[in-house]
Amino acid sequence: MRDLFKIAVRNLRRYKRRTLLTVSLITIGVVFVLVFISVSGSFKAMMVGQITDSMLGHMQVHRKGYVASIDNLPLNLNLTPPMVKKLEGILDSQEAIEAYSPRIKFGGMFSNFVETTNIRLNGVYPERELKTVPLLSSRISEGKAALEKGEIIIPALLSRGMGVKVGDPIVIVATNKDGSVNGKQFRVAGIIESATGPGGRDGYVHIDDAMEVLRMTEMEVSEVAIRLKDFDKLAAMTDTLDTLLAGDVNKQGKPVFEVHNWEKLSPFYNIARMIDVMTFFIKLMLIAIVLISIMNVMIMAVYERIREIGTIAAIGTLPGKILSMFIIEGLCLGVLGTLSGCILGVAIVWLINTAKITFNFGQQTGLILSATVQPADLAIISLIVILVSVIASLQPAVKASRMEPIVALRHV
């Protein structure tokens, strides 16, 4: 085998310019894919991080049917106190859960005593909420994130539209689940930017204030947002909670709870999927580049060496060995291209990180692009290129091995 490699490498060196050109082409393809994967992966991770860590949490538990009606913020689909107790018992027992935050979500009227508009409010325990969605504080453009009772964080949209500033008094009026209306005065503690760009009418109040406005005697929460210690265990934890909560059924025999991870709750999941699809097509392009370039060069190699093939076949080289010779030649091209591509790709990613390129996402500005090359990506790309190199060499190699020596020797 060592001698077959020796002959293959020497044959590649024999046509230096062509070998260099083919290896360069594969190198460019590998570099392009590596850089794309690492940059898009970084953007995707950043985007998912922003969505989950500043708003949604990694996953949420609702009462069955709540998510389907979430636009109406239905108070009658809140989790009842026994349900909350049961859920908290399960969540507390899970090692994988870092923090969770119960939320009472409701719609109300927001008044600055001059004008009135509608607002969506989240009643939360400020500390627990900040533990569950730690980037929430980074969205506070003015004021503070740590709410106290009687304080409200209002969306920037309302602040700008109605000229309300930090420290101003405002009134929230809301209808409770029985239909009665109640109001409460708050002081603006902070102004929050939307996580996903212009728009957004979500404000935050203390959960006790939410209960007071809604005249709840016992806490009925709309959702429980959950943060995991390890984001990669999201799917497993979703399944675990699904299983643990499946036993609770209502009178109709249907589950009481429903568990959703961020993918089911955010439209940004589709963007993340699109990045995956784009990555897949970029990989396909790489396969095409490698396939065409190596097949082309190997067809040329076979055509130019027909008499040599005839000679080695005539002196008794078995077809299998001739096949191996050409496959190894293609393999060497692939390995060389992969090696140089991986080295160059990692170097370019390092340069990108050194340059500290910034970008904006939603209201978050100046996010630093932190491209990372995962060893798994390197391994997968290398494997793809090497495998495709062998496949591309196969047809010319088979042709060479099946050549009749008498015909090959006559070739001019």
Partner 1 sequence: MTLITAENVSKEYHTGEITVKALKGLSFSIEPASFVSFVGPSGSGKTTLLNLIGCLDKPTEGTLKVADTDVSVMGRKESAAFRGSHIGFIFQDFNLMPVLTVYENIEYPLLMVQSLPPAERKERVEKLLEEVGMSDQRNKYPDQISGGQKQRVAIARALVTNPELVLADEPTANLDSETAYAVINLMKKMKAGLGTTFIFSTHDQKIVGEAEIIYSLEDGRLKEKTVMKEGTHA
Q: CA angle at residue 162 from 156 to 163, to 5 degrees?
A: 80
The secondary structure of residue 206, as a DSSP letter, is E
Q: Does 138 bind partner 1 (CB under 8 A)?
A: no
How far does Cα 393 stand from its chain's mean position?
Answer: 36
The stretch near partner 1 (CB under 8 A) out of 7-15, 23-31, 165-173, 211-219 is 7-15
Q: Which of residues 302-321 bind partner 1 (CB under 8 A)?
A: 307-308, 310-319, 321
CA dihedral 303, 308, 313, 319 (to 10 degrees): -40
Residue (2 or 356) nearer to partner 1, CB: 2
Cβ-based nearer residue to partner 1, 11 or 238: 11
Per the CB < 8 A criterion, the answer to whether 285 and 30 are in contact is no
- Cβ pair 103, 221 in contact under 8 A: yes
Tell me whether residue 263 or residue 329 sits nearer to partner 1 (CB atom). Answer: 329
Beta carbon of residue 400, minimum distance to partner 1 (angstroms, whole number): 14
Q: Count CA within 13 A, CB hemisphere, residue 162.
A: 26
Question: Which residues 6+ apart lie within 8 Å of 138 measured at CB?
Answer: 54, 364
Q: By three-state DSSP, how is residue 404 classified?
A: coil
Interaction residues for partner 1, span 316-345 (CB under 8 A):
316-319, 321
Choosing from 11, 50, 293, 338, the residue that interacts with partner 1 (CB under 8 A) is 11
User: Which residue's CB is nearer to partner 1, number 21 or number 314?
Assistant: 314
CB of 334 to partner 1, least distance (A): 20
H-only helix segments in 305-411: 306-314, 319-355, 375-401, 405-410
Residues linked to residue 192 through DSSP beta bridges, in sequence order: 140, 155
Give whichever of 390 and 409 is closer to partner 1, judged by the CB atom.
409
In whole angstroms, give the CA distance from residue 71 to residue 205.
19
Q: How far is the CB of 335 from partner 1 (least distance, A)?
A: 19
Q: Per CB under 8 A, does 107 bind partner 1?
A: no
Lay out the site mask for partner 1 across 382-401 (x = CB under 8 A, - = otherwise). --------------------
Which stretches of the chain bind partner 1, using CB under 8 A?
3, 7, 10-11, 13-14, 307-308, 310-319, 321, 404-406, 409
